[in-house]
Amino acid sequence: MATLTAPILDDISTEAARRLMEKQRRFFESRQTQDIEFRIKHLRALQDAIHAQEKTILEALYKDFRKSEFEGYVTEVGFVLDDLKHTLKHLRAWAKPERVGASLMVMPASAKVYSVPYGVSLIISPWNYPFQLLIAPFVGAIAAGNCAVLKPSELAPHTSAAIANLIKSVFPEEYASVVEGGVETNTRLLEQKWDYIFFTGGTEIGRIVAQAAAKNLTPTTLELGGKSPCFVDKHANLDVAARRIVWGKYLNAGQTCVAPDYLLLDKAIEQPFLEKMRATVREFYGENPEQSVDYPRIINDRHFSRLKSYLSDGDIFTGGETNAAERYIAPTILRNVDASANVMQDEIFGPILPVMTYSRLDEAIDFVNKRSKPLALYVFSENSDVQNTVLANTNSGGGCVNDTVTHLTVPGLPFGGVGDSGIGGYHGKHSFDTFSHKRGILSKPSMFDIKLRYAPYAGKLKWLRKIIG
């Protein structure tokens, strides 16, 4: 691959942020983005540009993560292209006013719900999937008729630069613009009065974003994180479960917000299942995963040090090797982990999988419910009663039965958190709906004007009661 130099990112000034937002607001007020064909034209242009710049984007992902071309395409570029394809296919139908029934109280009348754009939106993305987690919500914002300012993560500078070039090649600045920079840029952008804010990142930063939005009563979607549990029941297909859990956990070296964060494993199958997982890691990444072209690296030294400190929080069943110079941490499984250990307190966001065992399913469910609601929850079992018991007695943003992570790929499923793991959801039509205000309009003819509702009210209440029932 050709060399792609990461730029030095300068923070935007408060005045520049204000001018950019006002420039976009003037463009939005021109009402060009209200036109469906205008939106479709630019979404198609974005689709074409991603195809044309695919190699550059994949190279940037490799530079930032040493992410393989296959993984970069499947989890980032291909994901966005699939979302664009789905949106372009359905956008005209989504944008049509929805007729709803009018009550007898207001008849004769018709009632419709109109999807109207909020206006100028701010989209802030994290570093772990820096292309997908910025461009996917952006597709929803444009599909719904908004203007948008995009803030990629400075921790993935090569991908940030690639995104800036991509958006600039398709959209005029007054329609959509990328602002690069660090924490100060985020702060100055959040000082502005946006019409909508979409943030993906950690829970603590999410609280800061929510506080900034509250000052202007700005509607907000918060896509956060959490410790996503993974139940493995003794009735599970252990071979399939091992493959799907290892894949979901060590994808992107574990730097995935919906990766299985810890296992809740039926004690009766602990040893055989962990042996299958160890064999699966070897099958996927070889005897030495550090040499595998398919295994990425930790994003920076700070996260490497944080993750390395977790390795002493249990007994290493497999993995545990590290290389600070390469920011490499092997796919690791920890046994005999205490619930009070550091690795069980915060979202791991790395290739370390603690294992907790249980003798009774209700104990495992209780363990999950005593913690914050997770972004995802997984249950592996061939027993439908076990599946239903776990789902009925827990709460999470989403999840899978007998799989991990892949619920994100279904356009019809909303993706989002609950409680500490987030507010709101997106993907497919849910992205369009997220960036649309649902405007309810009642329309009545003038030729009929029933006087029941007008004063004087004497003698009318009994008729009103008959209508309402």
Of 76, 154, 223, 347, which residue is the catalytic one? 223
- Indicate if 191 belongs to the active site: no
Q: Domains, the chain, ranges and CATH?
A: 14-224+420-441 (3.40.605.10), 229-416 (3.40.309.10)
Task: Please tell me the pTM assigned to this model.
Answer: 0.92
- Give the whole-number percent of the chain exceeding pLDDT 70: 98
* pLDDT reported for residue 5: 46
Among 74-88, 328-342, 444-458, whose mean pLDDT is lowest?
Answer: 444-458
Please give the sequence-ordered ranges of beta strands (E in DSSP) within 240-345, or none if there are none. 262-266, 315-318, 322-323, 328-329, 332-335
Q: Answer for the pair 188, 13: CB distance below 8 angstroms, yes or no.
A: yes
For residue 275, what are its two tokens? 């042996």
Please tell me the distance from the alpha carbon of residue 281 to that of residue 120, in angstroms, as a whole number: 46
For residue 452, what are its two tokens? 């029941």
Of 147, 230, 257, 400, which residue is the catalytic one? 257
b (16+ CB within 10 A) / e for 191-211: ebebbbbbbbbbbebbeebee
Higher pLDDT, 29 or 107: 29
Over residues 220-261, the pLDDT tens digits come to: 999 998 899 999 999 999 999 999 999 999 999 999 999 999
For residue 314, what are its two tokens? 């249990």
- Indicate if 400 belongs to the active site: no
Residue for token pair 């003798």: 359
Over residues 362-379, the pLDDT tens digits come to: 999 999 999 999 999 999
Look over the chain and give the mean of its residue pLDDT values, rounded to a whole number: 93
Bridge partners of 358, per DSSP, are 266
Over residues 139-176, the pLDDT tens digits come to: 999 999 999 999 999 999 999 999 999 999 999 999 99
